[in-house]
Structure 1
Amino acid sequence: METTKVRIGENPCPKTDKLAFAVQIFFRTAAIGTTLAAACVIFNAKQTVDVMGMSFVAKYSYSSAFKFFAFANAVPCGFTSVSLVIIMFFSRHGLNASIYFMFFLHDLLMMSLVLSGVVAGTTIGTVGRDGNIKTGWLKICNRFEKYCNQVTTSLVLSYVAMICLLVLTILSAAKSRN
């Protein structure tokens, strides 16, 4: 009668690891693409409108919240690109729980940064769309429709990036426990 022993360091299911690796690659690539697209759209969001002979310009750099939102997408785009290269490198040398824990911390930090940026952008975007009568802030989206559509597109892309980074955080946390 043969007995099969499984060593602690061996992986009993290599197909599961390959699937987890493929999911990591997919979500990291999706997070890179969506944060890059969101940053590019907000960096290029600009519109000039003539009202009663006066020219008014709306662009992201006029709002500190939109500046933060733009850079809160650009920074995770860069760092997630680096993490993609690192995970590709470590996949050849074996990924262990401590490496996944480092990815967990990275993904959590990037998700938090994107989340804070998208909250800031959504807040100012809502004020731009609806205004705030009590504080005297007028809505601008009725005049700057193209600009507001660009901001909305960027916010939607950033929400998708935040969800991708949330999934990566959960996956990295689960793999670091194994």
Structure 2
Amino acid sequence: METAKAVDGENQCSKTDKIVFAVQIFFRIAATGTALAAACVIFNAKQTVDVMGMSFDAKYSYSPAFKFFAFANAIACGFTSLSLVIVMFFSRHGLNASIYFMFFLHDLVMMSLVLSGVVAGTAIGAVGRDGNSKTGWLKICNRFEKYCNRVTTSLILSYVAMICLLVLTITSAAKSRN
């Protein structure tokens, strides 16, 4: 009777480990893909408009906040893809609590990086969309619609990457406690 419970407990643990491993793989792939897509979209966000015979450009590189946003996503994409390879490597050798703790730290840093980048991008995007009459900043999205749409798309993708990294942080923290 006791051996049946022990075998059943091992199968349950094995099923849980497989589910957590699948969650880790899925969300690492999702975070990598959405961070890469966000970076690619913002790197290619540019538009030129003519107003009364004068040409005006809008590029992500004109704003330090958008530059930080773009590079934060690129860095997160690179390190999250590296962590995907490491998870695959360690899955063959067994994932223990200390390895999950290292993934927790990694995921926490990557989530913080993406979160800070997306917040900076959102703040500047809001100023570009609405302007700020008290400081004299004019809205530009009524003139640079294509540019603003690309920035919005990139921000949405980055929020998805941040949520994926949040899920990874939570699952890695939970597994590191076992």
Shorter-chain TM-score tier? over 0.9
2: CA distance between counterparts of 1:28 and 1:13? 22
Q: Aligned residue for 2:113?
A: 113
Q: Aligned residue for 1:76?
A: 76
2: CA distance between counterparts of 1:3 and 1:140? 71
Q: Aligned residue for 2:33?
A: 33
1:162 equivalenced with 2:166 (yes/no)? no
SS in 2 for 1:175: helix
1:76 maps to amino acid: A
2:38 maps to amino acid: A
Give the C-alpha shift of residue 95 in structure 1: 0.3
1:123 maps to amino acid: A
Q: Aligned residue for 2:47?
A: 47
Give the C-alpha shift of residue 13 in structure 1: 1.7
TM-score, with length taken from structure 2: 0.95
Q: Aligned residue for 1:96?
A: 96
1:135 maps to amino acid: T
SS in 1 for 2:140: coil
Count how many residue pairs are aligned between Structure 1 and Structure 2: 175
Identity of aligned residues (%): 87
Deviations 1:122-152 (A, max 9, x none): 0000000000011110000000000000000
2:51 maps to amino acid: V
Q: Structure 1's 11 and 90: CA in aligned 2 closer, same or farther, altered over 3 A? A: farther
Q: Aligned residue for 2:123?
A: 123
Deviations 1:70-93 (A, max 9, x none): 001000100000000000000000
2: CA distance between counterparts of 1:122 and 1:3? 57
Give the C-alpha shift of residue 17 in structure 1: 0.6
Give the C-alpha shift of residue 153 in structure 1: 0.1
TM-score, with length taken from structure 1: 0.95
1:89 maps to amino acid: F
Q: Aligned residue for 1:19?
A: 19
1: CA distance between counterparts of 2:105 and 2:136? 42
1:34 maps to amino acid: T
Q: Return structure 1 stretches of 4+ with deviation > 6 angstroms.
A: none
More helix by share: 2
SS in 2 for 1:133: coil
Over aligned residue pairs, what C-alpha RMSD do you find?
Answer: 1.5
Point out where structure 1 has 5 or more consecutive residues left out of the alignment: none
Give the C-alpha shift of residue 3 in structure 1: 3.8
2: CA distance between counterparts of 1:61 and 1:3? 66
